Structure 1
Amino acid sequence: MTADAGAGSTGRDAILRAARRAFTLQPYAQVTMRGIAADAGVSASLIVKRFGTKEQLFSTVTDFGPAADELFDAPLEGLGRHMVLSLLKTRREQQVDPLLRVVFGLGNQDERSLMKERFRKQVTERLAGRLDGDQAQLRAELIVGMLLGLGAAIGLNRPDSAAEAADPGHLADVYAPALQALVVRA
């Protein structure tokens, strides 16, 4: 077992990272619990104990609710900056983008549809419900698109990404005003 897998909550974070990678890079039918376990540095039986079946693990991985909780946990007046800082914090601490996996998910049409529907409800619609003024749904979709774009820009330009190397506060200073303009637009 790797040090990462044994840390914290008995490998939970390592299992989730490995499962996200597996479900993002391979169609659902090709993902195995053994493969996830090997990547996470844990036993397959530990995954079953922690998450149950492959279907239950997939359901956990495609749950965007916790990411939305963190992203939207700020007053509207500072939400744009908070979203940028939150996204960067998650990327740096957990080595995963909290939203971007919805774009790269493979699998069959049913799996992609399930992931996109959950994303729409748990992220985009939830944000729209927080926004005041006209065209809240449109503004929420644009904000989410900008957050996905930030994650993609960082991920695509690795390992030499200026955005990834930038101080989070500076990056928020540059990127958040455009988000904030959509948050408060009436």
Structure 2
Amino acid sequence: MAKKAEQRRKQILKAAFQAASEKGYESVTLQDIADYADVSKGVTNYYFKNKGDVFAHLFEWITTRIYEKEAESVEEKNTALEKLDAYLSQVFISPSENRTFYRVYLDFLSQVKNDDRYKEINQRFYENCWSIGEQIIQQGIKEDAFQVEDIQQAAKSIRAMIDGSLIQWLMRDDDELHKDYRKMCYDSILRILSR
């Protein structure tokens, strides 16, 4: 029974993500989410309190999955430079996936001011991202590949470069530039880590 409930919750969360990516957070209603999930609105209300609750769970689920995939891709590599490359490859996954995620993510961030749960979820996401950066930097220092005085600041800079690059790429609305922005991001991060 618990497995079925978890599958239903994931079905609703995936539907909420799709609805938000196509309509935007503000325009999406619980009825839209139910329609995208092909369930009744009552089913959505059974699993979630309201629209805000659906999106809080959605954002937590998505950011946790993203972090887990990024961490896993880094763990599979040996050297710091390989880990950094794997991290960026996982972040710059594809134009379509990056576009869909960042459209929803930016919409979500506009709601942070209205809901402390959203703020906490986003903070946890960034702390997880920074931990990946710190791990890569610490190994790079041991390997004499990086010269970093403040590891935490450098880890935060890595994520700032990633998000800034992807948001700028998104605003350019040109899939052909995706690889260029990944390379620009990688080169900029290497400059930060090699001072």
TM-score by length of 2: 0.62
Which segments of 5 or more consecutive residues in structure 2 lack a partner in the other structure? 1-9, 142-148
Matching residue's letter, 1:13: K
TM alignment of 1:162-177, pairs within 5 A? 164-166=175-177, 168=179, 171-177=181-187
Shift, 1:116, TM fit:
3.3
More helix by share: 2
Query: RCO (CA 8 Å, sep 6+): is it higher in 1 or 2?
Result: 1
How many residues align? The count is: 166
CA distance in 1, matches of 2:49, 2:132: 28
CA deviation map 1:123-150 (0-9, x unaligned):
2345335531541210111111111112
Matching residue's letter, 1:77: L
CA distance in 1, matches of 2:105, 2:130: 15
CA distance in 1, matches of 2:155, 2:103: 14
TM alignment of 1:35-46, pairs within 5 A? 35-38=32-35, 40=36, 42-43=38-39, 44-45=41-42
Asked which structure has the greater CA Rg, the reply is 2
Q: Is the 8 A contact 1:16 1:61 kept in 2?
A: yes
Shift, 1:78, TM fit:
2.1
Which segments of 5 or more consecutive residues in structure 1 lack a partner in the other structure? 1-8
Percent identical among aligned pairs is 11
Shift, 1:77, TM fit:
1.9
List, as ranges, runs of 4+ consecutive aligned residues in structure 1 with deviation greater than 4 Å. 9-12, 19-22, 45-49
Q: Given the alignment, which residue of 149, 164, 189 partners 1:179?
A: 189
Q: Is the 8 A contact 1:100 1:152 kept in 2?
A: no
